[in-house]
Structure 1
Amino acid sequence: MSRIAQCFSDLKANGRKALIPFVTAGDPNPSVTVSLLHAMVEAGADLLELGVPFSDPMAEGPVIQKACERALVHNTSLRDVLAMVKEFR
């Protein structure tokens, strides 16, 4: 069973709902992302959703659009995002 499936199975067994916060990698700047992910887990997040910033986030709402803009100011790339995930894990 995958870690995600195991998490949902455990939550269901305990009658709980999942808390899955979203953050755009590199927002407000790349040096903050990993510590922010750790803080969310320490605060009780069950799973995390890490968004990859992109230059044309038309399908996203204004909050995520602005987060992408802020991350891209720092040239946050997919390679950077994967490095953040590796450091976090």
Structure 2
Amino acid sequence: MTVINNRGVSAIESAFERGKILIPYLVAGFPDEKSSLECMKAAFNAGADMLEIGVPFSDPIADGAVIQHAQDRALRNGMTLRKTLRLAADLAAD
């Protein structure tokens, strides 16, 4: 699993140098906080090289309907930037 930290950029560059990579996108807190973390772990266990974690916000007009729905549900479940960062930290610690 690649985690962005002080060496994050070089880790990303190294991944791309190996060829094609898989970077799934998941909205933090969808369908709920606990399941979200489980989905993130499952993505890495299934072979993801990196993970793009979407931070839910109230006006995602540039996103499609599916992502808008996921962000809306995450927000209704109380997901915040602080909780998203905690999810990322929990993922990195695993």
Instruction: Give TM-score, length-normalised by structure 2.
Output: 0.84
Unpaired runs of at least 5, structure 2: 1-8
1:22-76 deviations in Å (ceiling 9; x for gaps): 0000000011122111100111111111000000001110010000011001110
For 1:18 and 1:81, the matched residues in 2 are separated by 24
How far is 1:18 from its partner?
Answer: 1.2
Structure of greater Rg: 1
Q: Name the residue aligned to 2:15.
A: 7
User: What is the distance in 2 between the residues matched to 1:57 and 1:82?
Assistant: 19
**CA RMSD, Structure 1 to Structure 2 (Å):** 1.1
Q: Which runs of 5+ in 1 are unaligned?
A: none
- Size of the alignment, in residue pairs? 84
Aligned match for 2:21, one of 18, 24, 27: 18
Runs of 4+ aligned structure 1 residues displaced above 6 Å come to none
The residue matched to 1:26 in structure 2 has which SS?
coil
- State the alpha-carbon separation in 2 of the partners of residues 4 and 67 from structure 1: 27
